[in-house]
Amino acid sequence: MGDMGQMDGAEDPIHAGQASVLQAHEMTVVGVGVIDSEASFAQAVLAGIEQARQQGIRELTLCDPHFAFWPLSQEQVLTALTAFVKLPGRRLILVAQGYDHLRRRHPKFLRWRAVWGHTVMPLCLQDPSAELPSALLADRAYALRLHAPEVWSGAWVSDRQRLIALVEQVALWRQQSQPDLSINLTGL
């Protein structure tokens, strides 16, 4: 990704476009406080989805090695995701290293995806050495990241350079990923 000190939109036309997108959304950080529990993570995910809808974000990316501990089957989260994807031109992208845990732990989410699958793009990164973060990215406007998922330690990414670096890394993983998480509507 290069030296973070050289990320200057005036000198680098690639990052200039990203900076203008960041400025357009004014880097509003949706969460207050520290994420330090499963409940605060679930609240932060819900707030991130709701704010994406309110701000007109067009693409929401959820990234995690397996999504086992995400609140994807909580009714409030599914309602917020529905409100988001109902808007024209919206897309939800999932990036994982595998979906077995999601299939076992989130049957409500899978039923939701069966209805809204045309707006959801689940991708699988086959590289087991990749250190896929647990993160929610709202285009290039803001991000939520769990730094230590095993102890629910996380925060909103408010530093512009860190946000751009995270967006670029997730974009690279997306390019290296393949579509996954097929839906079996017949139950067979």
The residues spanned by each domain of the chain are 11-179
pLDDT in tens, 31-55: 556 799 999 999 999 999 999 999 9
Q: Which residue has the higher pLDDT, 126 or 33?
A: 126
Radius of gyration of the chain (CA): 16
Can you tell me the distance from the alpha carbon of 61 to that of 120, in angstroms, rounded to the nearest whole number?
10
Mean pLDDT of the chain: 82
Q: Does residue 55 sit in helix, strand or coil?
A: helix
For the segment 63-92, the average pLDDT, to the nearest whole number, is 96
pLDDT in tens, 78-103: 999 999 999 999 999 999 999 999 99
Residue type, 35: I
- Residue whose C-alpha is closest to residue 145's, from 117, 130, 167, 177: 167
Q: Does residue 126 sit in helix, strand or coil?
A: coil
pLDDT score, position 45: 96
Residue type, 160: R
Instruction: List the CATH code of the domain at 11-179.
Output: 3.30.870.10
pLDDT score, position 127: 85
